[in-house]
């Protein structure tokens, strides 16, 4: 599992965010009286939102300058 996450960091971020956000959604909407289609629509929107968040996080990671090592004399 760790090797897969190392090869696909953006997908791993998306999966972790989506799972966490779905757990929070399920917890907070448990007594809201949603029917099945409303719950599925909210779940799908949550997964899409997690993907957008992972994409933005990847932008931030790409913008960070790498520490350059001075060449040895």
* Full residue range of the structural domain in which residue 20 is found: 1-27+45-52
11 inside domain: yes
**12-67: pLDDT as tens digits:** 889 999 999 999 999 999 888 889 999 999 999 999 999 999 988 888 776 666 55
14 inside domain: yes
22 inside domain: yes
Please state the pTM of the whole predicted model. 0.74
Domain count, the chain: 1
9 inside domain: yes
67 inside domain: no
> Would you state the pLDDT for residue 59?
85
4 inside domain: yes
7 inside domain: yes
CB atoms within 10 A of CB 42: 16
């Amino acid at each position: 599992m760790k090797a897969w996450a190392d090869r696909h960091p953006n997908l791993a971020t998306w999966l972790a965010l989506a799972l966490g956000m779905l757990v929070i959604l399920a917890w907070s909407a448990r007594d809201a009286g949603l029917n099945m289609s409303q719950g599925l629509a909210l779940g799908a929107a949550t997964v899409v939102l997690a993907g957008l968040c992972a994409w933005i996080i990847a932008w931030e990671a790409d913008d960070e300058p790498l520490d350059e090592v001075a060449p040895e004399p």
